Structure 1
């Protein structure tokens, strides 16, 4: 599902009802709840998200909204619906921008999500190299100071081929590298200011995505 160029109305924020919908879904993740509240999801969750990513498209590109249904084929958790709505813009190869609304509020971020072992190997080589590795650490330190948290799957031990006392061992453990800023439910969430905050967030992580494009690529 992608952003509709004929978005029904300009973005005006995420209403309180959007968070309420997901709070209810967390309590009753059932087809009956979804059916009874589908109109609320369409009007108070999906429509504002479409309007948000539509407003960001000129600068960042077209977004894809994730499906609300969970893939439960291989999961012990058979809950049929995701308890959030996320949207993603693919930018540089292997990286992009993300935004999400859930019962707790708003999250935004992005970065590199590995699609192959070759990408992870490229990431680690770049982290290991002095110039590119120090550049990445500087980028990550700057993002942490802006209240971003660093996420991404990583190994608990030392990656094969690298020393346990490597000066960037914590970053080397990552198989993928993403940053997220969790805004929660501030007063401005139901206003146009939410668009400004997401735009600022995505701009802040653009240098990280550019680093990924240069050193990791889409292998």
Structure 2
């Protein structure tokens, strides 16, 4: 049984207002006990039922080396259960609540090209349309960076143009902070969301894996 208290969400409200080392140092114990510890427990409990792949709890520190924004800390805690390399289930906590999702971020242009080829194919592309329709019906929104117009050689009237324009593909839905705090156990909530995404992620792992 895993839950997050109001303190977890309040921690990120405070960090949003004061993204500084001083705030982090003063509230580090809250992060460790109210955010990170239950977050690790949540992923560890869920992972065996969702492929049992590598579990990643992402670092809270931003990489500011090449960014004009020098804010030192991320305004969310993210975690990932890998189904295949770069493909898997995702959950995120921030001041607003929980984000439950999954998908893939392309590791290189070759992976994006494989994704486009699978979307372009009549059989695998049509299957993805059916799968994403069910995902949307379950309350998820599709995401993924899009090329400005369309990939080279793709006609403007392509029947799956929205999917063809994406360089990677994700799906996510939100649980508000108020809803999350009211629940004694978030495992069933995240599990239900991930189960709804299983055909979506299986399609990606089968048709657009990294090499």
CA RMSD of aligned residues (A): 1.2
CA–CA distance in structure 1, aligned partners of residues 209 and 169 of structure 2: 13
Quick one: distance in 1 between partners of 2:123 and 2:110?
Answer: 21
The aligned residue for residue 27 of structure 2 is 37
Q: Which residue pairs with 2:2 in the alignment?
A: 12
- CA-to-partner distance for each residue in 1:80-122, whole Å, 9 max, x for gaps? 0001000011112431010011000111110121001011001
Length-normalised TM-score, structure 1: 0.92
Q: CA deviation at 1:210?
A: 1.0
Instruction: Count residues with an aligned counterpart.
Output: 209
Q: Gapped runs of 5+ residues in structure 2?
A: none
Find the aligned partners of 2:88 and 2:179 in 1 and give their Cα distance: 27
Decide whether the 8 Å contact of 1:94 with 1:212 is kept in 2.
no
Report the Cα distance in structure 1 between the residues aligned to 2:104 and 2:18, rounded to whole angstroms.
33
- Decide which of 108, 129, 147 is 1:116's aligned counterpart: 108
Match of 2:61 in 1: 69
The CA deviation at 1:59 is 1.1
For structure 1, the residue ranges without an aligned partner over 5 or more in a row are 1-10
Q: Does 1:127 align with 2:119?
A: yes
2:172 is matched with which residue: 165, 170, 180? 180
Shift of 1:189: 3.5
**Secondary structure of 1:47's aligned partner:** helix
SS class of match (1:193): coil
Tell me the TM-score normalized by structure 2: 0.95
SS class of match (1:77): coil
Report what 1:59 is aligned to. 49
Residue 212 of structure 1: CA displacement? 1.1
Structure 1 residue ranges (4+ consecutive) displaced by more than 4 angstroms after TM superposition: none
Asked if 2 retains the 8 angstrom alpha-carbon contact of 1:14 and 1:190, the reply is no
